[in-house]
Amino acid sequence: MSIRQNQVPLKFEPSRIDSKWQSKWAEDNLYKVNNDSDKPKWYEMTMYPYPSGDLHIGHWYAFSPSDCHARFRRMQGYNVLHPIGFDAFGLPAENAAINRGIHPKTWTMQNIETMREQLQSLGAIYDWNREVICCDPEYYEWNQWIFLKFYEQGLAYKQKAPVVWCPSCQTVLANEQVVNGCCERCDTVITRRDLEQWFLKITDYAEELLDFEGLIEWPEKILTMQRNWIGKSEGVEIQFGLLNSENALISEQTITTFTTRIDTIFGVTFMAIAPEHPLVESLTTKENSIDVKKYIEQSKKISEIERMSTDKVKTGQKVGSFALNKFTNEKIPIYIADYVLPNYGTGAVMGVPAHDERDFVFANKYSLDVKRVVSETGNEDQNMSEAYVGNGIMINSKTYDGISNFEAKELLAKDIEKKKWGKKTTSFRIRDWLVSRQRYWGTPIPMVECSKCGIQPVAISDLPILLPDDAEFKPSGESPLKTSIDFVNTVCPKCFGPAQRETDTMDTFFDSSWYMYRYLNPKYKEAPFDNKLVKSWMPVDQYTGGAEHAVMHLLYARFFTKALRDMGLVDFGEPFLRLFNQGIILGQDHEKMSKSRGNVINPDDVVTGMGADAVRVFLMFIGPWDQGGPWSNVGINGIARWLNRVWTITTEKYELGSETMINQQTTDELAKTLHKTIKKVYEDLDKFKFNTAIAQLMEFSNYLNKTLNTKAVDPLVWNSCVRSFLLMFAPIAPHLAEELWEINGYKYSIHSESFPIWNEELISENVITMIVQVNGKVRDKIETAIGMEESAVKSLALMSSKIQAHIDGKTINKVIYVPDRLINIVI
RNA sequence: GCCGAGGUGGCGGAAUGGUAGACGCGGCGGACUUAAAAUCCGUUGCCCUUUAAAGGCGUGUGGGUUCGAGUCCCUCCCUCGGUACCA
């Protein structure tokens, strides 16, 4: 794919120009960002890449438009910080190490080397002095520092939690390593294991994370996804009594369920609890114990697989005991069922088949009663073919009959609280963030376990806790750090006796939750970030990146900033004020790019042949940035042609011949076109509408081309048009713009210039094309002066022979007049 | 299933409720050339028409609102993305 057929030859040497300016900019520190500036600040960030070792076209699609936007802000007069770094910890490094025997550190650092070079070929305004590499101890030391702060605040805690386990590889798997319930590497069916693991209490912030007030401009789609992810629902917790099969109360104990539909309490016909529920054992009667055990075993194994592949198979197992509905005094059977999740609500569900789809399916399968208690407009039929989940009037609910179910919800909740049977409560879907990874290539969690003092935090003065080089990271069934004796054996920070280090490492989302602070001064030694710089630069004004990070990364980052704020470390609550999500670049076949499809485009090949600017411009031109779109080897030729034309227009000698006449009208028209162009390009770049901005510039260059042929304007006017054009071109095609700026004899650098400003007066028209419609259909167009009266336009329109032909003596019922736009004659 | 985005020429895509198809690709015709490529000029939604003029039809489907709908409302179909037993 390195040689494309029918490639349009360029009039300039792109590789020469690219490297010429890239090295000049670097030498001059042109893009070094000054922290002290009179200009207003603009912090524009793009999500940093994982150093996979190869910069693919998707990276170009993410980075070149964001660079263009940052450059535009720069030319608008902002002091712009547009940093880049590497998300350098993570699984692929460890996999490469396991497969190829290279140390993860070596592999990662080599990849960063090559990717840094590839990134430089973009010609972006990155300030490389601020590069962040999070596998560097200089960075992860502060991960540990922040972790200790979280621990101090009670936001970090250790608890048993299940992990996905591959019995064959003897290793913990990440969710994405599980394919159809099997290990992606060896295809073995996975199981689960309970391990003591570290969590961050993001749930403390669940309510506040739902508040998006502090954000200026985020896509509604992302907010919805975050809302759903947090999953707030308000309901009632209510206790049920417990009976054995002889109707005797088992104990004073009760079982609590959470429901959002307390209005259906009279329709409860069974209770379903999670197989993991703590009361399962005590509720299981002798005659059911074998079956219950079997069901629990089975759900442990199958649940994950079933969940992924099948839809809504509801199974359960009777435990033998009964629950007592305190409102009806009815005795209802208790089941364990894997559709009830142990970690949501109370892990127990009151089954109301008539008004819940899942309960309905379950009741059908086990022949349980269906009892309708909410009536949809008078329908009291008890033979239901499906659950009725809507609202209505209460029936079969004793004293609550006849009122709306909304009202009943309120009354019942109050009643329950009065009787002390339960309480109103709010439930969240979001769970605490599990940050422990049983992996080598990550930040060591700075904790120590002492047999005398228990879990102890490492002293801040002992940071960083370095990742040892000698750990065996090949899978063994334990955290790899356990194999480094020197690492594990340490001294208790409290009693100075022998102790062991925590051997889990941190989730890489920990790194990316605060890297925006570190960019400000990645070398800062006193703290994770320099407060003075945080005050002047944060929060990030514009963040761009893929929508795949809608919930995890973006939610974690918001949580971090709120937690840091509550510790008094920052004084704002949102890290990213504006967010824009780019789409996905597709292959030429309109399919997602993948090696197996063979439709991958290697940007290096194209850049070598056509230059960075051609690639940048094409990627921005194919369509709206947030929609993504297909690459095209043929389509990029159009860009090459355009760049050639730009080259010609801006380098050709413009001189008036002896017989050339300067035409005032042509000059005025050119000025108007220029100013219209400036307005359109300015407004489009502002809103990330690169495709239409470029289209407008193309139109303008076509117009300039015509002017070049007629030479009917003064050379001074011509030169100022070329100058303005180049300035608009600069953020889009920075190398070529700089070269042409130099050829035209302007002072280096174009990238230190301001974006042109348009003059609204020059844009206003005095003659417009009036559309004349008959019955809403365009029949003629007439030139009229601006601001013409309706009556005048009407008589002009009626004079048109084309219009006459359509009216043809019929009576005019009505005339719609839109000033300076159209007139519609209705007959 | 639910949530979100979208469906416009041969293709990528433009269009504050007011000229549908900007800009570009591709195609066609011409100029230049021994020739080809490149370049330049012209042309290009479909139908009818020898051509032109003049019509007619056209933004996934079917309805509606409006003087006027790609755009607003309702029904359905399809594509893509996200998410999933949340009680």
Report the distance separating Cα A570 and Cα A561, nearest Å: 8
Nearest protein residue to nucleotide B4, judged by CA and C1' positions: A221
Spatial CA neighbour of A528 closest among A570, A575, A577: A570
Q: Helix A612-621 crosses helix A603-610 at what angle (to 10 degrees)?
A: 120
pLDDT beyond 70 at A781: yes
Q: What pLDDT, on a 0 to 100 scale, did the predictor assign at position A176?
A: 59
Closest nucleotide over all strands to A342 (CA to C1'): B86
* Residue–nucleotide distance: A624 CA to B41 C1' (Å): 32
Structural element, H or E, at residue A257 = strand A249-259
* Alpha helix segments (H runs only) across A52-165: 57-75, 91-100, 104-120, 137-152
Does residue A337 sit in helix, strand or coil?
strand
Does residue A171 sit in helix, strand or coil?
strand
pLDDT in tens, A564-607: 999 999 999 999 999 999 999 999 988 888 888 888 999 998 99
Residue A239 CA, chain-centre distance (Å), reads 40
Are the C-beta atoms of A389 and A356 separated by less than 8 Å? yes
CA trace torsion A310, A314, A317, A318 (10° rounding): 180
Report the distance separating Cα A115 and Cα A181, nearest Å: 34
* CA distance to A397, A417, A619, per residue, from A328 (Å): 9, 17, 67
Angle at A514 between CA A510 and CA A517, to 5 degrees: 155
Q: What pLDDT, on a 0 to 100 scale, did the predictor assign at position A712?
A: 86
Tokens of A536: 């002047």
Tokens of A163: 């992990």
Give the position of tokens 């925006």: A516
Nearest protein residue to nucleotide B41, judged by CA and C1' positions: A706
* CA distance to A160, A198, A221, A300, A476, per residue, from A195 (Å): 5, 10, 36, 15, 15
Give chain A's length: 827
Report the distance separating Cα A442 and Cα A505, nearest Å: 5
Structural element, H or E, at residue A281 = helix A280-283
Are the C-beta atoms of A444 and A467 separated by less than 8 Å? yes
Fold of A632-762: Isoleucyl-tRNA Synthetase; Domain 1 (1.10.730)
Q: What is the mean pLDDT of residues A669-695?
A: 95
pLDDT in tens, A741-762: 999 999 999 999 999 999 999 9
Q: How many CA atoms lie within 13 A of A422 on its CB side?
A: 26
Closest nucleotide over all strands to A645 (CA to C1'): B39
Which residues are A334's β-sheet partners?
A271
Q: What is the mean pLDDT of residues A14-20?
A: 94
For A614, phi and psi rounded to 5 degrees? -60, -40
* Residue–nucleotide distance: A798 CA to B80 C1' (Å): 50
DSSP state of A390: S
Average pLDDT score over chain A: 89
Closest nucleotide over all strands to A429 (CA to C1'): B86
Q: What pLDDT, on a 0 to 100 scale, did the predictor assign at position A105?
A: 94
pLDDT beyond 90 at A70: yes
Report the distance separating Cα A772 and Cα A796, nearest Å: 10
Closest nucleotide over all strands to A636 (CA to C1'): B25
Are the C-beta atoms of A493 and A462 separated by less than 8 Å? yes
Identify the residue with better confidence: A375 or A268. Answer: A268
Give the position of tokens 């005795």: A331
Number of Cβ within a 10 Å radius of residue A416: 21
pLDDT in tens, A183-213: 666 777 777 777 888 999 999 999 999 999 8
Domains of chain A by residue range? 156-197, 233-427, 446-503, 632-762, 765-826
Q: What pLDDT, on a 0 to 100 scale, did the predictor assign at position A389?
A: 85
Q: What pLDDT, on a 0 to 100 scale, did the predictor assign at position A417?
A: 95
Spatial CA neighbour of A636 closest among A2, A144, A8: A8
Omega prior to A51 cis, within 30 of 0: no
pLDDT in tens, A442-486: 999 999 999 999 999 999 999 899 999 888 877 777 788 988 999
Structural element, H or E, at residue A647 = helix A636-651
Angle at A530 between CA A525 and CA A532, to 5 degrees: 145
Q: Residues of chain A with pLDDT > 70: what percent? A: 95
Closest nucleotide over all strands to A299 (CA to C1'): B85
Closest nucleotide over all strands to A698 (CA to C1'): B23
pLDDT beyond 80 at A658: no
Angle at A137 between CA A41 and CA A564, to 5 degrees: 50
Which nucleotides of chain B have an atom under 7 angstroms from any protein CB?
Answer: 3-5, 12-16, 18-20, 22-26, 37-41, 54-56, 67-69, 81-87
Spatial CA neighbour of A734 closest among A624, A620, A821: A620
Omega prior to A464 cis, within 30 of 0: yes
pLDDT in tens, A239-284: 999 987 676 776 678 899 999 999 999 999 999 999 889 999 989 9
Are the C-beta atoms of A140 and A443 separated by less than 8 Å? yes
**What DSSP letter does each residue of A726-755 carry, written as one string?**
HHHHTTTSHHHHHHHHHHTTPPS-GGGSPP
Residue A3 — pLDDT band, cuts 50, 70, 90?
A: very low
Closest nucleotide over all strands to A769 (CA to C1'): B19
Report the distance separating Cα A791 and Cα A768, nearest Å: 17
Does residue A225 sit in helix, strand or coil?
helix
Q: What pLDDT, on a 0 to 100 scale, did the predictor assign at position A4?
A: 41
* Residue–nucleotide distance: A712 CA to B22 C1' (Å): 26
Q: How many CA atoms lie within 13 A of A67 on its CB side?
A: 31
Are the C-beta atoms of A770 and A783 separated by less than 8 Å? yes
Least confident among A321-330, A578-587, A665-674, A818-827: A818-827
Q: What pLDDT, on a 0 to 100 scale, did the predictor assign at position A179?
A: 63
> Amino acid letter at A756?
P
Furthest-apart CA atoms within chain A: distance in Å: 116
pLDDT beyond 50 at A165: yes
Fold of A233-427: Isoleucyl-tRNA Synthetase; domain 2 (3.90.740)
Nearest protein residue to nucleotide B1, judged by CA and C1' positions: A311
Q: What pLDDT, on a 0 to 100 scale, did the predictor assign at position A380?
A: 73
pLDDT in tens, A401-450: 989 898 999 999 999 999 999 999 999 988 889 898 888 999 999 999 99
Identify the residue with better confidence: A308 or A358. Answer: A358
Q: What pLDDT, on a 0 to 100 scale, did the predictor assign at position A777?
A: 84
Nearest protein residue to nucleotide B19, judged by CA and C1' positions: A771
Tokens of A621: 């031109």
Report the distance separating Cα A292 and Cα A336, nearest Å: 8
* CA distance to A181, A185, A304, A306, A378, per residue, from A301 (Å): 10, 19, 7, 9, 46
Report the distance separating Cα A728 and Cα A725, nearest Å: 5
Domain A765-826 has CATH 3.10.180.10: no
* Residue–nucleotide distance: A116 CA to B5 C1' (Å): 34
pLDDT in tens, A23-37: 999 999 999 999 999
DSSP state of A576: B
* Residue–nucleotide distance: A633 CA to B39 C1' (Å): 20
Nearest protein residue to nucleotide B68, judged by CA and C1' positions: A776
Q: What pLDDT, on a 0 to 100 scale, did the predictor assign at position A659?
A: 66
Give the position of tokens 């609890």: A273
pLDDT beyond 50 at A5: no
Nearest protein residue to nucleotide B69, judged by CA and C1' positions: A776
pLDDT beyond 80 at A162: no
Closest nucleotide over all strands to A338 (CA to C1'): B85
Angle at A292 between CA A288 and CA A295, to 5 degrees: 145
Give the position of tokens 């670049």: A585
Please name the residues in contact with A697: beta carbons below 8 A apart, sequence gap of 6 or more.
A677, A681, A725, A728, A729, A732
3-state helix, strand, coil in chain A (%, to 5): 40, 20, 40
Could you tell me the end-to-end alpha-carbon distance of chain A, in angstroms, rounded to an integer?
62
| A233-427 and A632-762, same CATH topology | no
Nearest protein residue to nucleotide B66, judged by CA and C1' positions: A776
* Residue–nucleotide distance: A629 CA to B10 C1' (Å): 18
**What DSSP letter does each residue of A477-505 carry, written as one string?**
SS-GGGG-HHHHEEE-TTT-SEEEE---E
Are the C-beta atoms of A421 and A239 separated by less than 8 Å? yes
Q: Exposed (0-12), middle (13-18) or buried (19+): which is A811, by Cβ within 10 Å?
A: exposed
Are the C-beta atoms of A348 and A255 separated by less than 8 Å? yes
Q: What is the ipTM of this complex?
A: 0.94
Are the C-beta atoms of A428 and A206 separated by less than 8 Å? yes
* Residue–nucleotide distance: A115 CA to B10 C1' (Å): 39
Q: What pLDDT, on a 0 to 100 scale, did the predictor assign at position A2?
A: 32
Report the distance separating Cα A535 and Cα A521, nearest Å: 13
pLDDT beyond 90 at A150: yes
pLDDT in tens, A594-653: 888 888 999 998 999 999 999 999 999 999 999 999 999 999 999 999 999 999 999 988
Nearest protein residue to nucleotide B13, judged by CA and C1' positions: A623
Give the position of tokens 């009354």: A411
* Residue–nucleotide distance: A807 CA to B49 C1' (Å): 25
* Residue–nucleotide distance: A698 CA to B8 C1' (Å): 22
Closest nucleotide over all strands to A273 (CA to C1'): B87
* Residue–nucleotide distance: A260 CA to B73 C1' (Å): 33
Q: What pLDDT, on a 0 to 100 scale, did the predictor assign at position A675?
A: 96
For A544, phi and psi rounded to 5 degrees? -130, 150
